[in-house]
Amino acid sequence: MAMKFGVIIFPGSNCDHDAYWAFKEVFQQPATFLWHDSSDLQGCDAVIVPGGFAYGDYLRTGAIARFSPIMEAVRKFASTGGLVMGICNGFQILCESGLLPGVLMRNKNLKYICKPVHIRVESTDSPFTHSLRRGEVLEVPIGHMEGNYYCDEATLQQLQKQDRILFRYSTPEGTITPEANPNGAIDNIAGICSEGRNVLGMMPHPERASETALGMTDGVRILQALVTSGTLK
């Protein structure tokens, strides 16, 4: 059964059209844009918080976006089990909004980094990874200045204990090493989910690795999982 996807547009979002294209054209799903100033989720089954520079990343990444009416609606939606996926700036916004713990800090080399990285699937217990194999390695690009995930020790232990780390940066062979960590993220974390497992935040961009024309296709595996997550219920 098809799912309806809603892609939020904040002032400064710039991967909104990319996410829309991926769900609408690559996966042939119903999709719509959601304007930041509205609190109407238009009956979407899943909300995508896209990449970009919402409000120019001024103050802090995601710090202003979290106050928009649409995020209030997203909070309610998530609290009733609605699916929310934050990619890159979307991950930052979800952290600022309190939908996910922790924060994304400046990359340890202080520079913006755009390149393909490898991530290892750490848990298949989520709507975003159910069709993947635990331990499999995906090649997906990153593109960010603030992707250095940080949280306090207690939160980290909780994430680990509750199996909420879905992706970690790894070597192509699947080993977790400091060299494979592009941005200094604690515990090589590339993506985590909420306690209810219905909210995902990840720094890599699966939509940038979703067609052969783009030279990378592993992102399809993640998006496909989400598109087929309706079958889980």
Partner 1 sequence: MKAYVYVSLKKSVLDPQGKTIQGALTKMGYQGVEDVRQGKFFEVTLDGKLGRDAAQAEVERIAREVLTNPVIEDFRYSLED
Partner 2 sequence: MTSPENAAITAEVIRDHGLTQDEYQRILKWLGRTPTLTELGIFSVMWSEHCSYKSSRVHLKRLPTRSKLVVQGPGENAGIIDIGDGWTCAFKIESHNHPSFIEPFQGATTGVGGILRDIFTMGARPVAVMDSLRFGPVTKEPGDSGRWQTDQATIHKNHSIVDGVVGGVASYGNCFGVPNLGGETKFEPCYNGNPLVNAFALGLVKREKIFYAKAAGAGNPVIYVGSKTGRDGIHGATMASEEFSEGSEAKRPNVQVGDPFMEKLLLEACVEAMETGAVIGIQDMGAAGLTCSTCEMGGRGAVGLEIELDKVPQRETGMTPYEIMLSESQERMLLVAEKGREEEVFAVFRKWGLDAVEIGQVIPENKMRVREHGNVVAEIPNEALTDDAPLYHRPVEPWVSPVAKEVPDGIKFGTKKDLTGEFHALLASPNICSKRWVYEQYDSMVQTNTMQGPGGEAGVIRIKGSQRGLAMALDGNGRWCYLEPKLGAMHAVAEAARNVACTGARPVAATNCLNFGNPEKPPIMGQFSAVIDGLTEACIALETPITGGNVSFYNETLGEGIYPTPVLGIVGLLDDTSKAVGSHFKAPGKAIVLLNENRKKHIDEAQVEFGSSEYALHILGAMWGAPPKLSLGAEKVLHQALRQLAAEELVESAKDCSDGGIAAALAEKGFAHNIGVDVDFASSGLPLECVLFGENPTRVLVSCDAGHVSRIQQVATNFGLAARQIGTTIPGNFQVRVDGNPALRAEVSALKESWATALDRALHSDVKAAAV
Binding residues vs partner 1 (CB under 8 A): 59-60, 63, 67, 95-96, 101-103, 105-106, 108-110, 150-152, 184
Nearer CB in complex with partner 1: 159/227: 159
Binds 11: which of partner 1, partner 2, none (CB < 5-8 Å by kind): partner 2
Contact present, 89 and 53 (Cβ < 8 Å) = yes
Please say which residue, 51 or 86, places its beta carbon nearer to partner 2. 51
For residue 233, the number of C-alpha atoms closer than 13 Å in the C-beta half-sphere is 12
Q: How far is the CB of 141 from partner 2 (least distance, A)?
A: 6
Do residues 141 and 133 touch, judged by C-beta distance below 8 A?
A: no
CB atoms within 10 A of CB 160: 13
Task: Decide: is 139 part of the binding site for partner 2 (CB under 8 A).
Answer: no
Q: Are 37 and 11 in contact (CB under 8 A)?
A: no
- As measured in angstroms, the least distance from the Cβ of 20 to partner 1 is 29
Instruction: Please state the closest distance from residue 178 (CB atom) to partner 2, in A.
Output: 18
Q: Does 207 bind partner 2 (CB under 8 A)?
A: yes
* Chain centroid offset of residue 44 CA: 17
CA distances from 96 to 119, 150, 160, 174 (A): 24, 12, 21, 30
**177 is written with which tokens?**
């090493």
Virtual torsion, Cα 134, 136, 140, 146, nearest 10 deg: 50
The one catalytic residue among 15, 88, 95, 151 = 88
Based on the residue annotation, tell me whether 44 is a catalytic residue of this protein: no
Q: Which residue number, 62 or 102, has a Cβ lying nearer to partner 2? A: 62
Q: Is 1 one of the binding residues for partner 2 (CB under 8 A)?
A: no
Number of H helices, E strands in the chain: 5, 11
Catalytic residue list: 88, 205, 207
Interaction site with partner 2 (CB under 8 A): 11-12, 14-15, 17-18, 21-22, 25, 51-53, 55-58, 111-115, 141, 143, 145, 205, 207-208, 210-211, 213-215
